[in-house]
Structure 1
Amino acid sequence: MTNWARANKGFLLFLMLFGIFRTAVADWNPIPSASMHPNLLEGDVVFVNRLAYNVKVPLTDIVLGKTGEPQRGDIVTFSSPQGGTRLIKRIIALPGDRVEMRDEHLIINGQPADYAMLGSGSETIASAGKLASVQLRESIGAGQHRIQLLPEVRAKRDFAAITIPPEQFMMLGDNRDNSQDSRYIGLVPRALLIGRAERILASADIEGNWLPRTERFGMSLYGQH
C-alpha cells in the first residue's frame, strides 16, 4: 500500500486539492426533487459559488470570514437545521425583516408582494398522481421570480408575522405547496449556508427519457421571469 501511494502521489495530491476546491471554493449540486419548480427541474445540475457569503474551514461549518451578504431572492444551498441534509431554496426574508404569509401571499415589512398569473398546467406527485398547477410571477420590491402553486395539495399557506433574528434567514421553495422549507424546518442560521447557486451547468430528463436538455445548459438562475 505504501509503495502504491508513493507511486501515485501526484494523483492523490490532485484528489486532495480537488476535494478542498469543492468544499471551499465552488461546487455543483444535482437537483433531486420538485421543490424549486418551475425554475429548477429534477436532473438539473447547478453551479454553486461557495465563496459568495463565507470562507469556511473545508468540510466544516466553521466560518473564517464573510465575503458577501445574502440577498433576498438568492437561490442558496444550505445544510438543513433539522438533520443536516443539503437543501436548495430561495431566500425570502433577511435578518430584521418582518414577514408573514396569508393565503399563500407574502407580506414583508408591511408591503404585500405582487402576483401575476403566468399560466396553468399539471404536476405529478407520487402519492397523489397528476394535480393541477398554477404558475405566478412573485414580485417583492425590485426582485421578481416565478413560483408554482398546487391548489389540491394540503400545505402551510399561512403563518403569523415573525421578525427574522440576526444571522438567520427564511427560505422558501419556489414550488410553494411541495417544499420542505422554513415553514417546516425553521429559520436557517448563516453558518449553515453553503453557497449561492448561480447557473445550470447541465441538465437531463431523469423523469423521462434521460436525454440531455441542452437548452438549459449554462442558463442563469436569475433574470428568468
Structure 2
Amino acid sequence: MKNWMRANKGFLMFLMLFGIFRTAVADWNPIPSASMHPNLLEGDVVFVNRLAYNVKVPLTDIVLGQTGEPQRGDIVTFSSPANGMRLIKRVIALPGDRVEMRNEQLIINGKQAGYATIDRATESIKGVGDIAAVRLGESLGDRSHAIQVMPQLQARRDFAELTVPPGQYMMLGDNRDNSEDSRYIGMVPRALLIGRAERVLASADIMGNWAPRTERFGMSLYP
C-alpha cells in the first residue's frame, strides 16, 4: 500500500487539491427536481461560485470570512436547516425584511412585487398527472425573473407578515406551488449558504431521451 501511494503521489495530490477546489472555491450542482421551473430544468448542471458570500473551511460550514452579501433575486445553493440536504432556491427576503404572501403575491417591506403573465404551460407531476401552469414575470425592486404557479395543486400560497431574523434569508423556489422552501423548512442561516449559482454549464433531457440541450450550455441565470 505504501509503495502504491508513493508511486501515485502526484495523482493523489491532484485528487486532494481538486477536492479542496470543489468544496471551497467553485462547484457544479446537478438539478434533480422541478422546484426552479421554468428557469432551471431537471438535467441542468449549474456552476456555483462558492466564494460569492463566504470563505469556509473545506468540508464544513465554518465561515472564515465574508466575501460578499447575498442579494434579493440571487439563485443560491445551501444546506437545508431541516435535514442538511443540499437545495437550490432564490433569495427572496434579506435580514430585517418584512415579508408576507397573499394569494401567491409577495409583499416586501410594505411594497407589493410586480407580476405580469408570460405564458401558459403544462407540467407533468409524478403521481398526479398533467397540470396546467401559468408562468409570470415577478419583479422585486430592480430585479425580475420568471416564476411558475399551478392553481390546481395544494400549496402554501399565503403567510402572514414576518420579519427575517438577523443573519438569515428567506428562500423560495421559482416553481412556487411545487417547492420545499422557506415556507416549509424555515429561514436559512448565512453559515448554511454554499454559493451563488451563476450559469448552466451543461444540460440533458433526463426526463426524456437524455438528448443534450445544447441551447442551454453556458446560459447565464440572470437577465
TM-score of the two chains, using structure 2 as the length reference = 1.00
Q: How many Å separate the matches in 1 of 2:184 and 2:164?
A: 15
Shift of residue 137, structure 1, vs aligned partner: 0.1
Which whole-Å CA distance do the structure 1 matches of 2:127 and 2:155 have between them? 14
CA displacement at 1:125 relative to structure 2: 0.4
Matched residue SS, 2:199 = strand
User: What's 2:131 paired with?
Assistant: 131
> What corresponds to 2:103 in structure 1?
103
SS of 2:23's partner is helix
Structure 1's unaligned 5+ residue stretches are none
Name the CA distance, whole Å, in 1 between partners of 2:164 and 2:127: 34
Alignment partner, residue 44 of structure 1:
44
Task: Map 1:31-180 onto structure 2 (within 5 A).
Answer: 31-180=31-180
Instruction: Report the Cα distance in structure 1 between the residues aligned to 2:181 and 2:144, rounded to whole angstroms.
Output: 19
Count, aligned residues: 223
1:28 Cα offset (Å): 0.1
In 2: Cα distance, 1:121 partner to 1:58 partner: 42
If the length of structure 1 is used for normalisation, what is the TM-score? 0.99
1:209 and 2:209 matched: yes
Q: Secondary structure, in 3 states, of the residue corresponding to 1:13?
A: helix
C-alpha separation between the residues in 2 aligned to 1:183 and 1:215? Answer: 33
Deviations 1:154-187 (A, max 9, x none): 0000001011111000000000000000000000
2:141 and 2:71 map into 1 onto residues whose CA distance is: 12
Partner letter of residue 163 of structure 1? T
- State the identity %: 78
CA RMSD of superposed structures (Å): 0.4
User: Which residue in 2 is equivalent to 1:27?
Assistant: 27
Give the letter aligned to residue 170 of structure 2: M
Q: Deviations over 1:84-142 (max 9, x none)?
A: 00000000000010000000000000000110000111000002000000000001111
Letter paired with 2:153: V
Q: What is the one-letter code of the residue matched to 1:197?
A: A
What residue identity is the alignment partner of 2:184?
Y
